[in-house]
Copies of this chain bind each other. A is one copy, B any other.
Amino acid sequence: MKSSKVADTLLNTVIKDRIKRPSLLNKICDPQSLINHFQNGMYLGWSGFAGTGYPKMMPIALADHVEKNQLQGKMKYNLFVGASTGAETEDRWAGLDMIDRRYPHQVGRNLRKGINSDKIRFSDEHLSIFANELQYGYYTMNKEGNKRKLDIAIVEATEITEDGDIVPGASVGILPEILQMADKVIIELNTSLPSLRGLHDMVSIPLPPHTKPFPLSRVDDRIGVDAFPCNPDKIIGIVESQAPDATTDNDPEDEVSNAIAQHIVRFLEREVGAGRLPPSLLPLQSGIGSIANAVIGGISRSPFENITVWTEVLQDTFLDFFDNGKLKFASATSLRFSPAGFNRLFSNWPNYRDKLVLRNQSISNGAELVRRLGVIALNTPVEFDIYGHVNSTCVQGSKMLNGVGGSGDFLRNSKLSIVHAPSTRPTKTDEHGITSIVPFCSHIDHPEHDIDVVVTEQGLADLRGLCPRDRARTIIEKCSHPLYKPLLLDYYERAHTKGLKTFSSHEPHMLDKAFKMYQNLEEKGTMRISSWD
């Protein structure tokens, strides 16, 4: 397992400085020497979240091995990662038919294709509860041998401390939990990054009935350790990595996302004016993508000051927000910066170091914390309906995009839950062929009860305290695109008339017509139906 020749070479490099515990130096090896530990059907855990902090060398070596030896479909794994990783690893695995089961979130073309064509058994899950369920044994119930263990964990690190503890890379995710659960551990020490010691705050969470309150009531509270222990006996190899996280540039703001951002900034200003939010707001959570970028950009250019952030993932916009002095502190589980963003971070590390912390995703997304802190949650869904139900995952009901991620963790427990989307999206034949506001969502991840505000570039609908009938009128009036407004209003009014006749007008629907727009999209390439008849 250990290759002393490789070790000797590597010992001349920077890796020696990063392994502060001498007794671990003899674990250094090349990834090829570890391939024989991997058998078909194994249960693997990787570090990584939102495309950063994931292992590269070992997954790539395994993919090369499969490709070279034509083992496609013969080395398939049950793969557990906090959220998404990089295309060069996991998505390549999907292309090589190396993934049997995958939880709880993913991003990648081959992955998506595999999931939507019976090759990959994927299930999405709220990110806050995933590590718990893994530890409960819910994903390993049918495993051979110990039904509470993962076979191998592969984690990226940027330092191993004097005590042998692991300092992660640019994300935490479920790294602490998989280190605890794995029979064997492979560490990828990434020397292309500086040691990120001090960035992380990680906890070991006892399972019920032994769980205790998380003693955290401010975004900058620290409740754990900055390096996570790992039994050295479990470490079967330490591999040097110089591969950066394969991130790309952030989606730029555009006219639609800027209009949405302006609606939200004005709404927040009104909330402060009404005394329902303090002048520095409450901790912000924001998703990924151009709208999220525009919203954070908009807030950072607004008069709000001393802002705090409690979120999953930080994008480049947050660096501007720090730099203009308005963002005081940000807590997340992953830094998903562009290559330029990472450069900016690392070259000004002392400026940012005390304003950032990365936590277990059980904490960053934890129901307990999101509710206690009174987070303002901002998320982009696939679509929402006239009553405020939200689809975040399955296009036209059946086709998985990436998974529910943390949207449910935040929308359910936040003080203010806001979803934002362009009112329409294009199809091949109609630039407004898809409406984001539908009579009945083709898949529902977030029920009406979880949503306070919906926003499109057309306007903002404040749903708080409204009954479903009033919600429908408000959403259609404020948010729908003019091309769809008459159709949606007609649906609602017909359904309402029918509902009144049958003592069913609480949330009136015409179930025989509720999905008609999707049928039209399938058949004619647009959701613009001619009528409801």
On A, residues with C-beta under 8 Å from B are 101, 103, 113, 115-118, 121-126, 129, 132-133, 136-142, 147-148, 207-209, 211-218, 274-276, 278, 282, 366-368, 371-374, 389, 394-400, 404, 408, 412-413, 415, 440, 442-447, 449, 452, 464-470, 495, 499-500, 502-509, 511-512, 514-515, 518-519
Contact = CB atoms under 8 A, between A and B. Distances in A.
B394 A507 contact: yes
Contact of A124 (B101, B141, B449, B518): B449
Given A141-B276, A366-B371, A400-B507, 17 more contacts: A117-B503, A121-B466, A122-B467, A123-B467, A126-B412, A126-B449, A137-B274, A141-B465, A148-B275, A208-B373, A208-B415, A209-B373, A367-B413, A398-B506, A399-B506, A408-B412, A442-B511
B211 A374 contact: yes
A397 B509 contact: yes
B274 A398 contact: no
Contact of A212 (B115, B140, B141, B372): B372
30 contacts: A103-B465, A115-B506, A121-B466, A122-B467, A129-B413, A137-B276, A139-B465, A140-B465, A208-B373, A208-B415, A209-B218, A209-B282, A209-B373, A211-B371, A212-B217, A212-B372, A213-B215, A213-B217, A398-B507, A398-B508, A399-B504, A404-B447, A408-B412, A412-B412, A443-B507, A444-B444, A447-B447, A511-B515, A512-B515, A514-B515
Residue with the highest number of chain B CB atoms closer than 10 Å, among A115, A209, A373: A209
A396 B116 contact: no
Contacts of A123: 465-468
Contacts of A148: 275
Given A415-B136, A505-B116, A509-B397, A449 B445 contact: yes
A274 to B, nearest CB: 7
Given A139-B465, A408-B449, A400 B129 contact: no
Given A116-B499, A117-B500, A147-B274, A506 B208 contact: no
Given A113-B503, A394-B506, A504-B398, A372 B208 contact: yes
Number of copies: 2
In the A-B complex, the 4 residue pairs with the smallest Cβ-Cβ separation, listed nearest first, are A208-B374, A213-B213, A400-B506, A367-B367
A452 B400 CA distance: 20
Contact of A121 (B366, B400, B467): B467
Residue with the highest number of chain B CB atoms closer than 10 Å, among A215, A276, A372: A372
A138 B464 contact: yes
A101 B398 contact: no
A420 B465 CA distance: 31
Given A371-B129, A467-B121, A505 B398 contact: yes
A248 to B, nearest CB: 24
A499 to B, nearest CB: 5
Given A122-B506, A467-B101, A511-B397, A373 B211 contact: yes
Contacts of A208: 282, 372-374, 415
